[in-house]
Structure 1
């Protein structure tokens, strides 16, 4: 019996210390032998699981709508510029019914958001029961970019890690299944993707001069990610470091993670709150 995808998710999940320089951004040597090893085979796998993903999401949404389940799912996507967060949203979350998905991309905080604690704006966007929430960037910017760009003091940043752990534990207690994904892209692949944005007119809108400034600090960002992952990876709120040099591989990993979580929740179709037989008679009488 195949152990895929359980062994894949076990390899992606981070426990304890992490050295990103030792984690592959392309095909890892540990990639399961029974896992798709090409873009074509990954597409076939996504096609094969799409129906199950859709049904599980609909069951989740319907059960919560009828007050028979409180669970929800929150996927946090983090990564360097060009790591593929938008592609995950389009190609993986696109498999779901939009009415059961809440996607939010966090940008630079507004004046109102800056007037509150750093977790406040995230709390406003948490998914309700039955919803799959997706954060494109998140509260982790306050320990990533703030550390690298020195937007906050070291003391302030250090104080945020335990606050994040407590916050995420509270989410777990509320029935929010939280999975944090770092899309791990290598500097060579990032250069290629940034170059493409400059070479193609239809991609100019994706390019920002600030991307080059961040690229010059690539090593500093990797260290900031290592610290954030080590300080906040818990049983209730795990981190997954996903190789992202090949977009198909990253999308496959996220899809398998979502499928595994929805299977664990195992939502049931809600029970009818009316007499089905009686309603059948009433309906048939209208022929």
Structure 2
């Protein structure tokens, strides 16, 4: 199997989405990819236990991608071996009335993972510079002072919003959250195939909406917005990764590997040591229990 090198997926310079891979060949079988996946996610699960005990860092995994990119199944497969107490996932849909009474980052901030835990944003704060940029009329629902009509949602508005997002992530990172941002890069052809499969499978029909096709018609606009957002916000403390998403098992393995290989470099993450008084009496405690 071809080794997964994190640098091959890390975005650390300006990109053009049309030049990024949507599929990668690991030169192995589907069975071996699955076996490798099982090993990596087991290691991730053990590492999370250690992080939970350590209690100094949290992890935030941000997943963005076009419809059918595989976000839900990726979460299910990558985190299958996690203790449920150490992980929480949030899926951000259209803002509720309560959320619209706050600034756009509020609902994301209150869902950040506590120290020792993993948090997953299935669609993220980037919806606020993706969907709303393709549909600027949505911004009017936020009732922002000075934004009274679509023409007010101009370049200066988006410049400010990107600055706010970068500041938000810097603040979060400075306070112990390790951020991973993954763009599940799906080809338009593969999206078409997945939408057709969704229609052909009765158990998947519920996922389909006529709006999916309307949004698909805006593919080029979305790709342009993704490209700009990634280029403006891929920072050392909050790096974007391009995840080729045309093959789901491979995409899952790449994300799991990026998480594990990066997190294991944090050599200060260790289980807390027992107090000396407890250490000295371990044998006594065991004896008491065994002789009950």
TM-score greater than 0.5 by the shorter chain: yes
Report the 3-state secondary structure (helix = DSSP H, G, I; strand = E; otherwise coil) of the residue aligned with 1:265.
Answer: coil
- In the alignment, is residue 283 of structure 1 matched against residue 279 of structure 2? no
Deviation sequence 1:19-49 (CA, Å, 0-9, x none): 111112122xxx6xxx553322211211222
Aligned length: 273
Distance change >3 Å, CA 208–CA 269, structure 1 → 2: same
Q: Displacement of 1:3 after TM fit?
A: 9.6
Deviation sequence 1:176-227 (CA, Å, 0-9, x none): 0001000000011000111111111100111111111110001110000000
Gaps of 5+ in 1: 65-69
Q: Displacement of 1:108 after TM fit?
A: 0.5
Moved over 3 A (4+): 2-5, 35-38
The 5-angstrom pairing of residues 1-287 of structure 1 reads 4-5=3-4, 8-27=5-24, 35=26, 37-64=28-55, 70-150=56-136, 151-152=138-139, 153-154=153-154, 155-266=156-267, 267-273=269-275, 274-286=277-289, 287=291
Deviation sequence 1:214-259 (CA, Å, 0-9, x none): 1000111000000000111111110001100000111011100110
Distance of 1:38 and 1:185 partners within structure 2 = 21
Deviation sequence 1:147-180 (CA, Å, 0-9, x none): 1112331332221101111111111110100010
TM-score normalised by structure 2 residue count: 0.89
Report the 3-state secondary structure (helix = DSSP H, G, I; strand = E; otherwise coil) of the residue aligned with 2:172.
Answer: helix
Distance of 1:200 and 1:52 partners within structure 2 = 34
- Tell me how large the CA RMSD over aligned residues is: 1.7
Q: Displacement of 1:121 after TM fit?
A: 0.7
Gaps of 5+ in 2: 140-152
Q: Displacement of 1:260 after TM fit?
A: 1.4
Report the 3-state secondary structure (helix = DSSP H, G, I; strand = E; otherwise coil) of the residue aligned with 1:275.
Answer: helix
Report the 3-state secondary structure (helix = DSSP H, G, I; strand = E; otherwise coil) of the residue aligned with 1:83.
Answer: coil
